Chain A
């Protein structure tokens, strides 16, 4: 397996640390006067999503982690796994478990494309696009005339996600939602 020396460290590099795949977020080179040089590194552990701060003596090296981001279409779930398919024409499928899917489960819509991070060839995490379009399946009846006041109410979307929406939204409408904040953006169309 390839390895990276401290002088190759840069943000975005995927490395193995304590057996876990990590991505380097920041790498600061420090060296006092004529002394020993160090690299002060911030990494995100891709298994736990925790940010670690670690120091390395310059010249130390870390093993490269076999981590790759791939675009994949979500197909279906069998209750235990969520199945994704590469969009590169190979039709290769990858089952992701609940841990890999994580919170993204509430944004999963069949035939939409997601970023699946593979570690040693298996899905490690699934990232939704920044915006998804989903149908409202349940919400209190709309109240006419309240649009100007900017009040809001909860609405349940087809995937099970619950978002706060303006009072005029009704069941059956398709909404654009920001998956990073979980916030309603606008109506896409009325059905």
Chain B
């Protein structure tokens, strides 16, 4: 199934120059704000438990420290939080991250991520800074804010918090066979509606943050009760319908974190995916205490796609995986 590799880059030289300009601009942005640039491992001892993220395992016969291999990181989150626990203060990182099986017009299994953490910031404060960075670079108006609940209500015609499982499944049968829809689960159904109805509608919208995700989609965000439902302090920024970043008012409690890891692994078991070993160093760091903070991860390749007005990630990568 492997075609002969083409040696030429898929991105134009001018796109590659814009990539360099973007990197310089991002570094300038954080230098001005006194945020420290850090580097953490691309190859780590642990992967993530998130059932929707598949890491790539790097096998080895001779890695140091008795380990037989390591995981190419899906995000530098755990390592950066360990730095926060060690007293780093505000930090940012530009790193290559890896996600198995993700390839499409907006995905490449290896991509460039900008991730940063702001001690003392709430989610709204960090959203303002994301807006400064993204719109400062793209020259767009500051993003608006729309709740996840309103977005689903407006574009998919249902309340993601109160709709019954049956109602969600039925809605997805517009695209799926009933037996497929049944296996999706509540969040899978919501993800389908998000991809097929909300994202295309957001393409007609100016830049907008979606906030207040269901608790089951909190990932590493703290959760609080608002408008009578439990909502995660998680946000995503959409520009022209392209999802650009994912941020949290970070969860800092080790017990709750352990519980979520266990739930993730349970979901993995049920869906036939391998369970992932828990990153105990990360949990120890939470126990030692990380400052109250917000953090966000932003896809730099997609940011460049928006800057250059292209809809194919191959136009901004020197060598997407087919040519890598």
List residues of A whose CB falls within 8 A of some B CB. Answer: 7-8, 10, 28-38, 54-60
25 pairs, CB–CB < 8 Å, chain A vs chain B: A8-B1, A28-B104, A28-B105, A29-B103, A29-B107, A30-B196, A31-B52, A31-B102, A31-B104, A32-B191, A33-B236, A34-B50, A34-B52, A34-B217, A34-B219, A35-B190, A35-B194, A35-B195, A36-B52, A36-B191, A38-B195, A55-B176, A56-B180, A57-B188, A59-B101
Q: Which residues of A contact B180 (CB under 8 A)?
A: 55-57, 60
Q: Knowing A8-B1, A28-B105, A57-B184 touch, does A35 contact B217 (C-beta < 8 A)?
A: yes
Contact, CB under 8 Å: A35 / B104: no
B250 at the interface (CB under 8 A from A): no
A30 to B184, CA, bound (A): 15
Q: Knowing A37-B52, A55-B175 touch, does A32 contact B184 (C-beta < 8 A)?
A: no
Contact, CB under 8 Å: B194 / A37: no
Interface size of B in residues (CB-CB distance below 8 Å): 29
Q: Which residues of B contact A54 (CB under 8 A)?
A: 175
A51 CB, min distance to chain B CBs, angstroms:
15
Contact, CB under 8 Å: B236 / A36: no
A10 to B143, CA, bound (A): 36
B243 at the interface (CB under 8 A from A): yes
B253 at the interface (CB under 8 A from A): no
A84 CB, min distance to chain B CBs, angstroms:
30
B111 CB, min distance to chain A CBs, angstroms:
13
B192 at the interface (CB under 8 A from A): yes
Provide the main secondary structure of the chain B interface.
mixed
A57 to B51, CA, bound (A): 13
B219 CB, min distance to chain A CBs, angstroms:
6
B141 CB, min distance to chain A CBs, angstroms:
23
The listed residue with most A CB atoms (<10 A of its CB), out of B1, B191, B194, B199, is B191
Task: Encode contact with A along B113-143: 1 for CB under 8 Å, 0 otherwise.
Answer: 0000000000000000000000000000000
A29 to B52, CA, bound (A): 14
Contact, CB under 8 Å: A30 / B103: no
Q: Knowing A8-B1, A57-B180 touch, does A32 contact B103 (C-beta < 8 A)?
A: no
Q: Which residues of B contact A30 (CB under 8 A)?
A: 104, 195-196
Q: Which residues of A contact B194 (CB under 8 A)?
A: 32-33, 35
Contact, CB under 8 Å: B102 / A33: no
A7 to B53, CA, bound (A): 14
Q: Which residues of B contact A32 (CB under 8 A)?
A: 191, 194-195, 199, 243
Contact, CB under 8 Å: B101 / A34: no
A56 to B188, CA, bound (A): 12
Contact, CB under 8 Å: B192 / A55: yes
Q: Which residues of A contact B192 (CB under 8 A)?
A: 36, 38, 55
B246 at the interface (CB under 8 A from A): yes
A34 to B176, CA, bound (A): 21
Q: Knowing A8-B1, A28-B105, A31-B102 touch, does A36 contact B176 (C-beta < 8 A)?
A: no
Q: Knowing A8-B1, A57-B184 touch, does A29 contact B102 (C-beta < 8 A)?
A: yes
A22 CB, min distance to chain B CBs, angstroms:
15
Task: Encode contact with A along B170-202: 1 for CB under 8 Å, 0 otherwise.
Answer: 000001100010011001101110111001000
Contact, CB under 8 Å: B188 / A34: no
Q: Which residue on chain B has the smallest CB distance to residue A60?
A: B180
Q: Which residues of A contact B105 (CB under 8 A)?
A: 28-29
Q: Which residues of A contact B101 (CB under 8 A)?
A: 7, 37, 58-59
A158 to B28, CA, bound (A): 76
A57 to B104, CA, bound (A): 15
Contact, CB under 8 Å: A29 / B176: no
Q: Which residue on chain A has the smallest CB distance to residue B271?
A: A59
Q: Which residue on chain A has the smallest CB distance to residue B1?
A: A8
Pick from A35, A56, A60: contact of B52, CB under 8 Å: A35
Given A29-B104, A32-B195, 18 other A-B residues pairs in contact with their CB atoms under 8 A: A7-B101, A29-B105, A29-B107, A31-B195, A33-B236, A34-B52, A34-B53, A34-B246, A35-B52, A36-B192, A38-B191, A38-B195, A54-B175, A55-B192, A57-B180, A57-B188, A58-B101, A59-B101
Contact, CB under 8 Å: A57 / B183: yes
